[in-house]
Chain A
Amino acid sequence: MGDRPQLADLQVGQEVGRREVTVDRARLVRYAGASGDFNPIHWNDRVARSVGLPDVIAHGMWTMGAAVSVVVDWAGDPGAVVDYQVRFTRPVPVPDPGSATVEVVAAIGALDADAGTARVDLTVTLDGVRVLGKAQAVVRLG
């Protein structure tokens, strides 16, 4: 894998990845099982509405996990992501029938030559509105 990105070739502001990810109820059930997060607001309309939500919503951790795969694929090694943080600013309602499509855009936010790391800032939106705030992944590069 000699084609991993090199720190010296990068510039702040440079876009390094972009992807649309689609989530439906089946995806949420799958994430619930894989993660062990069985909170019913992520699969049960009745419970979601009873706590004031407009619909079943995606696990924030699903959105966080789906968004970073853009960074992993660009970095070329999942082990290169040394730090990853987000704020959950808006829920992602997931209709049934149907699905929701989240857009992820990854761009270089900062470069640290001494540490050998790049900070990748993720803009994650649903219908043009951000659903994650301060979504930043720090990637160790050669």
Chain B
Amino acid sequence: MPVDTSYAGREYPPNAAYDVGREKLREFASAVGATHPAHLDPEAARALGHPDVVAPPTFAVVVAQRAEAQLFEDPAAGIDFSRVVHADERFTHHRPIHAGDRLVTVLHVDSIVERAGLAMITTRAEIAAEDGEAVATVVSTLAVRPEES
């Protein structure tokens, strides 16, 4: 089934809140080899003016992909994940993510473009604190290869 291009322009309702925990940030930092003390030690983070340990710059992908699942796990969208290649990714941090944050994400499907047999899907996850303060914007483009004929 081809990708349903009519999903372009769709905006999903805010998803369930994501609670950012210290141990999750430490686990993620360890997995990417991020050893700055502000990821690991609350005192080191506070010395830099942060309320608690700070997320590595790409941690927001963990929050964003929960929102993106609303699109990718929707069978009607026609996106076969075994044929997906990640094309590009961008994080804009309006303020750092830290342990203790409770984050709510609104997913936008910015575009679905068919190009040279590929469907290029660009999503934008707008991540905010529960009080509405903007925290991060995550823009991701995936290329979906056509089915083998």
Residues of B contacting A82 in the complex (Cβ-Cβ under 8 angstroms): 92-93
Decide if A131 is an interface residue (CB 8 Å cutoff).
Answer: no
- Which of A32-40, A92-100, A108-116 touches B? A32-40
Partner of B87, one of A73, A78, A88, A137: A88
A to B contact number (C-beta, < 8 Å): 117
Q: How far is the CA of A83 from the CA of B94 in the complex (A)?
A: 9
Identify the A interface with B (CB < 8 A). Answer: 1, 21, 27, 30-31, 33-37, 39, 41, 47, 51, 60-62, 64-66, 68-69, 71-73, 76-79, 81-88, 134, 137
Max chain B CB contacts within 10 Å: which of A31, A36, A39, A79? A79
Contact indicator per residue, chain B 34-57, by CB within 8 Å of chain A (1) or not (0): 111011000000011110001111
Is B5 located at the chain interface by the 8 A CB criterion? no
CB distance from B65 to the nearest CB of A (A): 6
Q: Is the CB of B1 closer than 8 A to any CB of chain A?
A: no
A137 with B57: CB separation less than 8 A: yes
Main secondary structure of the interface of B (DSSP, over half): mixed
Is the interface on chain B under 10, 10 to 19, 20 to 34, or 35 or more residues?
35 or more
Please provide the 10 A-B residue pairs with the shortest distance between their CB atoms, ordered closest to farther. A65-B32, A79-B96, A85-B90, A34-B31, A65-B58, A87-B88, A31-B31, A69-B34, A81-B57, A78-B54
Q: List 27 A-B contacts (CB under 8 A).
A: A1-B48, A27-B31, A30-B31, A34-B28, A35-B28, A36-B65, A37-B65, A60-B89, A61-B86, A61-B89, A64-B89, A65-B28, A65-B31, A68-B57, A69-B36, A77-B48, A78-B38, A79-B48, A79-B49, A79-B93, A83-B92, A84-B57, A85-B88, A86-B88, A88-B85, A88-B86, A137-B57
Chain A residues, Cβ within 8 Å of B24: 34
Which A residues touch B10, using CB under 8 A?
A: none
